[in-house]
A = this chain, B = another copy of it.
Amino acid sequence: MLIVLTTDVTPQAQKAVEDRVRELGFTPHAIEGAGRTAIGITGNKGPVDPGHFRLMEGVADCIPVTAPYKLVSREVKHEDTVVDVAGVPIGGREIVVMAGPCAVESEQQILAAARGVRKSGASLLRGGAFKPRTSPYDFQGLRQKGLELLEKARGETGLKVVTEVKDTETLPLVAESADLLQIGARNMQNFSLLEAVGDLRKPVLLKRGMSSTIKELLMAAEYIVSRGNKQVILCERGIRTFETMTRNTLDLNAVPMLKAHSHLPVVVDPSHGIGIRSAVLPMARAAIAAGADGLIIEVHPDPDRALSDGMQSLDLPRFEVLMREIEKIASAVGRSLHRITA
């Protein structure tokens, strides 16, 4: 950080600023100009809170010079990170599609979904076993039984499994079962959960909070990576705005911004993002065109009977169409679809 002093700063005030820097354990470096002086700070491991200085006498401005995130930053690591999800590489040249129902509802449902999305070219099966719901009265998922059904579907189809981890209590159970651990939007700043998955060595899909800035998403990823787990995939899934015609506002601007500022892979969830079945396809195309490394799509063998999020789920024929269209866009941007080998 650079502390810009006022032009009329007194020597005492300048000294007080420098002393304060030292008190915090850092080293002040006075950069004296003709008209005014600035104080540079070194010795800090992370960003320094400008609040320490902003109200001190003689301080005109505090300019941060390092991003508050480091390990996830592209400044620190230039090359794209490719996350290996049980053999499926995410973040490389190939686009990876994850698909399946919002929630695991029954053996029949999840197997039908898995076979269908496998056939159309998905590489991962999504499906919630532990569901965080806004109302305490809504369906909360099949829990352990749901995990078992996902494993069964994986065994039969070869699809890898991504499923949400809702809290630290059930993390061991979910981590044992899933290939990719999803942190939901509402938990993006559940720092205890971030630390807990940071202590594992299992890939994590981190969804952006519905009113989190792009920078906050990167800070949340930094929590995980700073604990040693470097296998983090970022996920844009729609933000909250004033618009009411769509469920959320899928913020595709986040895709080029995340790719510019971070080396981590970026996937997009158009199903939650726009929340309207007929609009999932164009938004999925747009996500790939914007540079996303993958998609996560809600697919249900019988969407009108889904226990949750049926209005935004595709049926299997629509998903088949989506995959063909996505393939064309991938090709137009010089990429291709990943397909798992039986």
Contacts and interface: CB of A to CB of B under 8 A. Distances in A.
A97 interface: no
Contact of A55 (B45, B47, B244, B304): B304
Contact of A252 (B187, B214, B250): B250
A184 to B, nearest CB: 9
A305 B273 CA distance: 38
A61 interface: yes
A286 interface: yes
Contacts of A251: 241, 243, 249
A4 B64 CA distance: 12
Contacts of A332: 285, 325, 328-329, 331-332
B31 A31 contact: no
A210 to B, nearest CB: 6
Given A29-B35, A40-B35, A136 B192 contact: no
A250 to B, nearest CB: 6
Interface in A292-330: 303-311, 325, 328-329
> What is the oligomeric copy number?
4
B279 A283 contact: no
Given A31-B35, A168-B167, A186-B190, A283 B290 contact: yes
Contact of A310 (B37, B52, B138, B307): B52
A68 interface: yes
A333 interface: yes
A36 B46 contact: no
Interface in A78-127: none
A198 B71 CA distance: 38
A222 to B, nearest CB: 6
B135 A68 contact: yes
Contacts of A169: 168, 192
Interface stretch (A144-152, A199-207, A253-261): A253-261
B46 A138 contact: yes
Contacts of A305: 20, 52
Nearest to A284: B289
20 contacts: A29-B34, A30-B34, A46-B137, A51-B309, A51-B310, A55-B277, A55-B311, A133-B191, A136-B222, A166-B191, A167-B192, A210-B211, A214-B243, A215-B245, A239-B243, A242-B242, A252-B252, A253-B283, A282-B289, A285-B333
Given A33-B37, A186-B189, 8 more contacts: A35-B38, A133-B191, A213-B243, A213-B245, A239-B241, A246-B257, A282-B289, A285-B290
